[in-house]
């Protein structure tokens, strides 16, 4: 199980848990399928930013 901080681990079509911007204070996780990767760097300490298939944007905290 990867934590979503490395871009190489995150690919379109995989199921992940993300933390949305509005949920950063509470840490509430949202489950979804990756549509697009929005982070260009190879890694990010808070998780790779992605757009889910339903249009929501968040940082990957867990890869399922």
Question: What pLDDT is recorded for position 2?
Answer: 76
Nearest-angstrom CA–CA distance, 23 and 9: 23
3-state SS assignment for residue 1: coil
The two tokens of residue 1 are 């199980």
Question: What pLDDT is recorded for position 45?
Answer: 93
Question: What pLDDT is recorded for position 41?
Answer: 94
- Cα end-to-end distance, the chain, whole Å: 7
Low-confidence ranges of the chain (pLDDT < 50): none
- Beta pairing class for 49-52 and 57-63: antiparallel
Question: What pLDDT is recorded for position 3?
Answer: 86
């Amino acid at each position: 199980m990867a934590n979503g901080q490395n871009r190489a681990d995150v690919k379109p079509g995989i199921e992940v848990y993300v933390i949305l911007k509005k949920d950063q204070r509470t840490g509430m996780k949202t489950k979804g399928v990756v549509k697009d990767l929005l982070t260009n760097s190879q890694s990010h300490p808070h998780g790779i930013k992605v757009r889910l298939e339903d249009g929501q944007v968040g940082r990957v905290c867990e890869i399922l």
